[in-house]
């Protein structure tokens, strides 16, 4: 990872900015404390010195120069006490522990700090004192001061520590920022690399996660869920196009062969007519298949969501039973109709109708394949409400579907009979599955012992969404057309 | 009958035009929405066939414009778009019928003829008669040669629709849409079975059948052989 990239990363910049702000705040705080400590110390030194000077003045007032000299001498000898320097009117030092008059104090500057030297067993050293210069009546001069070298040392140590601390903070900020930036960058880079690989065509690739449970992992999870769905859709599409190519080839070939046969038929126009009629039939079947595919694609894209209205499922199912009854009777079957009890769902009447029609149609078709007693020649259509779900089931006494094949039966174009001689597009159940999915329901294929039972489970409409008159706009349009 | 076909695909337009001419109707073609709207405004057409996707101005907006101007000419919408919502949108825009491409010519012609007959709703009769078959819409009674025929409610509606379009081809899809209000394909030809039941009730025992099958198209109720 290039250093420039690290320095440019937003994480590094943010960390660095935070460090600078923090450092400034810390410097301000310490500066304030230092300033206030310094001023307080100076103030207390001033008070002490002034009181001392006042004592000495009182000594001078009561005992004159002599008393002052002796007081200064006494005080000068006390360890840790003040600093004194007393001179007579001629400027000769008479008492005090300062070796000379501090040059910094004079008539122009009577209060302030000065340097002085002391000689001890460790040798000579320079110190700092702070004090005042007082004129003695009769021409003498007195300096009263205190040693402030220790105070000064304390403050300067504090300032030095402050600078060191700030430096450390800055270093930690830069280092932390770099580490943090490197960590985040490495994760983002890994994510980018994975996305690039996916863009390059590796659709099964996934964004890496570090199991830290943090927001980057959550982002990766969301992206992965998205990729998962895209991949599934793509796989579905690929499968569809493969199946279309494969399954449309057969009828197209048949179409072509029939036309060719008719053309070559010696009987002439009668044969041509027949051939053309059969060609149209084949073409119609092909169109039907295409329409079915298109509808499934649209349903899976959720394109018809807005056409949903609250409808009575029981009424739709009864209507379909009535539609298919004559066909079933002609085939020697009886359709057992569901009980008359309303079951309202939010649905598209046409799509649900198509789905249930497919189930009834399949049931009649497949039930004819096995020899059964007259009593067994039934197709049972049932509706039941459990909790907030409606169950519609269509059961037959036909050959059923082996358990292993049931999942497959819901896929497009799968006709479990490998000879594919049965009429139909092979889209029946997959269309039903798509319709049910679009209505947020589910579908299962069960053993009817014997035979097959397909159960659709759809969510009941919420009670407040029950239809008012004219809520079903499909019906309104339909009625208008009938009455006009 | 004069039909205006607003369709930008010349092949489909001419195919429809030829079909209409063969059964004795006039047909004119407009190749885009703007020309089509102008031609429709000029009037004189009994039915408009409007493609949904047109250059210049799309089909639905042409229909909306006509309806807004008070033009009530029946409109059949042709569309390459698929199912469900598209049909509802087309009818809401003011279309009277909707047919998805690719379509069978016989289906289109039957629908155009049915639309042409619907121009004046107030003329809807309370009683239909074809030969000696009489259907009374008010009393819900059906008689043939004076003898009462008992029909199931659905059979009654089926016969009613056929008789309203007497002398004209009615396709299976039209029956499904108007009698059952189903706009989907029920796979098996369920309609055929319903028709044969109805036929056994109204034609059985009579010399002249009234309910005819029109090969490759649908059904027609008609008196006489003409």
Cis preceding-peptide flag for B160 (omega within 30 of 0): no
User: What's the pLDDT score for residue B108?
Assistant: 92
Give the chain A residue nearest B118 (alpha carbons).
A484
3-state DSSP assignment of residue A294: helix
Q: Å from A386 to nearest chain B CA?
A: 28
CB A72 within 8 A of CB A95: yes
Give me the mean pLDDT over the A40-61 stretch: 86
For chain B, percent helix, then strand, then coil, each to nearest 5?
40, 20, 40
Q: Which residue has the higher pLDDT, A119 or A344?
A: A344
At residue B165, does pLDDT exceed 50? yes
User: What's the pLDDT score for residue A482?
Assistant: 36
Task: Tell which B residues from 122 to 161 touch A, by Cβ distance under 8 Å.
Answer: 124, 154, 161
To the nearest 10°, report the CA torsion of A351, A352, A354, A359: 150
What does the alpha-carbon distance between residue A356 and residue B218 come to, in Å, rounded to a whole number?
25
Q: Å from B121 to nearest chain A CA?
A: 5
At residue B198, does pLDDT exceed 90? yes
Cβ <8 Å between A323 and B182: yes
What does the alpha-carbon distance between residue A229 and residue A479 come to, in Å, rounded to a whole number?
41
What does the alpha-carbon distance between residue A138 and residue A86 come to, in Å, rounded to a whole number?
13
What does the alpha-carbon distance between residue B185 and residue A48 come to, in Å, rounded to a whole number?
111
Confidence band, pLDDT 50/70/90 cuts, at residue B124: low
Question: In A368-390, which ranges are continuous DSSP H helix?
Answer: none
User: What's the pLDDT score for residue B111?
Assistant: 92
At residue B125, does pLDDT exceed 90? no
Cβ-count burial of B211 within 10 angstroms (0-12 exposed, 13-18 middle, 19+ buried)?
buried
3-state DSSP assignment of residue A46: helix
Phi/psi of residue B208, each to 5°?
-100, 110
What does the alpha-carbon distance between residue A465 and residue A381 come to, in Å, rounded to a whole number?
26
For chain A, percent helix, then strand, then coil, each to nearest 5?
60, 20, 25
In which order are the strands placed within the sheet that holds A452-459?
A: A334-336, A378-386, A389-396, A452-459, A442-447
Q: Is B106's Cβ below 8 Å from some Cβ in A?
A: no
In which order are the strands placed within the sheet that holds B127-130?
A: B127-130, B133-136, B141-144, B147-149
Task: Tell which A residues from 314 to 373 touch B, by Cβ distance under 8 Å.
Answer: 319, 322-324, 326-327, 330, 348, 350-351, 353-354, 357-358, 361, 364-365
Cβ <8 Å between A304 and B188: no
Give the chain A residue nearest B93 (alpha carbons).
A477
Kindly give, in sequence order, each residue whose CB lies less than 8 Å from that of residue B224, ignoring residues fewer than 6 positions away: B131, B208
At residue A345, does pLDDT exceed 70? yes
Of chain A, the end-to-end C-alpha distance in Å amounts to 76
What does the alpha-carbon distance between residue A254 and residue A259 come to, in Å, rounded to a whole number?
9
CB A476 within 8 A of CB A313: no
Tell me which residue in A277, A357, A477 faces B186 most closely, judged by beta carbons: A357
Tell me which residue in B83, B84, B178 faces A481 most closely, judged by beta carbons: B178
Cβ <8 Å between A326 and B193: yes
Q: Is B184's Cβ below 8 Å from some Cβ in A?
A: yes
Cβ <8 Å between B85 and A307: yes
Confidence band, pLDDT 50/70/90 cuts, at residue A480: very low
Confidence band, pLDDT 50/70/90 cuts, at residue A422: very low
Confidence band, pLDDT 50/70/90 cuts, at residue B171: very high
At residue A159, does pLDDT exceed 90? no
A244-264 pLDDT, tens digit each: 777 678 778 888 888 888 888
| pTM of the predicted protein model | 0.61
Confidence band, pLDDT 50/70/90 cuts, at residue A478: very low
CB A128 within 8 A of CB A148: yes
- Point out the least confidently predicted range of A32-36, A298-302, A353-357, B141-145: A298-302
Within 13 A of A393's CA, how many CA atoms are on the CB side?
A: 17
Kindly give, in sequence order, each residue whose CB lies less than 8 Å from that of residue A190, ignoring residues fewer than 6 positions away: A208
Count of helices and strands (H, E) across chain B:
8, 12
What does the alpha-carbon distance between residue A116 and residue A84 come to, in Å, rounded to a whole number?
11
Q: Is B120's Cβ below 8 Å from some Cβ in A?
A: no
């Amino acid at each position: 990872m290039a250093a420039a990239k690290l320095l440019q990363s937003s994480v590094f910049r943010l960390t660095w900015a935070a460090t600078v702000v923090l450092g400034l705040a810390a410097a301000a705080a310490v500066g304030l404390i230092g300033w206030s400590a310094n001023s307080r110390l100076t103030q207390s030194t001033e008070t002490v010195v002034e009181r001392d000077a006042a004592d000495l003045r009182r000594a001078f007032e009561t005992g004159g120069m002599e008393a002052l000299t002796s007081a200064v001498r006494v005080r000068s000898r006390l360890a840790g006490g003040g600093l004194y320097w007393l001179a007579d009117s001629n400027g000769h030092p008479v008492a005090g522990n300062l070796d000379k008059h501090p040059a910094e104090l004079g008539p122009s500057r009577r209060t302030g700090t000065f340097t002085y030297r002391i000689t001890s067993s460790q040798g000579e050293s320079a110190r700092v004192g702070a004090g005042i210069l007082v004129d003695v009546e009769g021409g003498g001069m007195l300096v009263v001061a205190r040693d402030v070298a220790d105070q000064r040392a304390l403050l300067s140590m504090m300032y030095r520590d402050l600078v060191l601390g700030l430096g450390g903070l800055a270093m930690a900020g830069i280092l932390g920022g770099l580490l943090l930036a490197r960590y985040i960058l490495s994760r983002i880079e890994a994510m980018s690399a994975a996305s690039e690989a996916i863009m390059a065509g590796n659709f099964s690739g996934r964004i890496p996660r570090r199991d830290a449970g943090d927001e980057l992992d959550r982002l990766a999870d969301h992206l992965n869920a998205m990729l998962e769905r895209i991949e599934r859709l793509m796989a579905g599409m690929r499968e569809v196009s493969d199946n279309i190519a494969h399954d449309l080839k057969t009828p197209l070939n048949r179409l072509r062969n029939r036309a060719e046969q008719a053309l070559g038929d010696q009987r002439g126009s009668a044969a041509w007519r027949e051939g053309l009629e059969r060609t149209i039939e084949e073409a119609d079947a092909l169109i039907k298949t295409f329409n079915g595919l298109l509808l499934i694609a649209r349903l899976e894209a959720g394109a018809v969501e807005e056409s949903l209205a609250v409808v009575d499922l029981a009424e739709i199912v009864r209507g379909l039973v009535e539609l298919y009854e004559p066909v079933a009777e002609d085939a020697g079957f009886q359709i057992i109709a569901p009980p008359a009890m309303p079951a309202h769902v939010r649905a598209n009447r046409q799509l649900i109708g198509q789905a249930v029609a497919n189930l009834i149609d399949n049931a009649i078709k497949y039930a004819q394949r096995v020899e059964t007693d007259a009593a067994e020649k039934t197709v049972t259509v049932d509706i039941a409400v459990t909790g907030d779900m409606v169950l519609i089931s269509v059961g037959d006494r036909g050959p059923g579907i082996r358990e292993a094949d049931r999942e497959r039966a819901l896929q497009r174009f799968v006709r479990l009979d490998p000879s594919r001689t049965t009429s139909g597009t092979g889209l029946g159940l997959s269309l039903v599955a798509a319709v049910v999915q679009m209505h947020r329901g589910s579908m299962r294929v069960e053993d009817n012992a014997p035979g097959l039972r397909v159960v659709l489970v759809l969510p009941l409409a919420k009670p407040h969404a029950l239809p008012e008159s004219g809520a079903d706009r499909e019906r309104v349009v339909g009625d208008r057309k009938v009455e006009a | 009958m004069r039909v205006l076909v607003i369709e930008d695909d010349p092949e489909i337009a001419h195919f429809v035009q030829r079909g209409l001419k063969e059964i004795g109707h006039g047909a004119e073609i407009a190749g885009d929405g703007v020309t089509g709207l102008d031609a429709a405004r000029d009037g004189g057409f009994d039915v408009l066939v409007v493609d949904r996707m047109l250059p210049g101005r799309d089909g639905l907006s042409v229909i909306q414009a006509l309806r807004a101007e008070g033009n009530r000419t029946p409109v059949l919408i042709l569309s390459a778009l698929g199912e469900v919502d598209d049909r509802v949108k087309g009818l809401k825009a003011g279309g009277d019928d909707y047919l998805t491409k690719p379509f069978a010519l016989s289906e289109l012609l039957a629908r155009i003829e049915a639309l042409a007959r619907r121009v004046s709703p107030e003329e809807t009769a309370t009683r239909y008669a074809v030969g000696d078959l009489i259907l009374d819409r008010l009393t819900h009674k059906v008689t043939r040669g004076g003898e009462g025929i008992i029909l199931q409610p659905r059979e009654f509606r089926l016969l009613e629709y056929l008789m309203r379009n007497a002398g004209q081809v009615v396709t299976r899809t039209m029956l499904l849409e108007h009698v059952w209000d189903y706009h989907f394909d029920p796979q098996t030809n369920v309609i055929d079975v319903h028709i044969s039941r109805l036929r056994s009730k109204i034609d059985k025992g009579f010399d002249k059948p009234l309910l005819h099958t029109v090969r490759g198209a649908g059904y027609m109720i008609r008196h006489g052989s003409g």
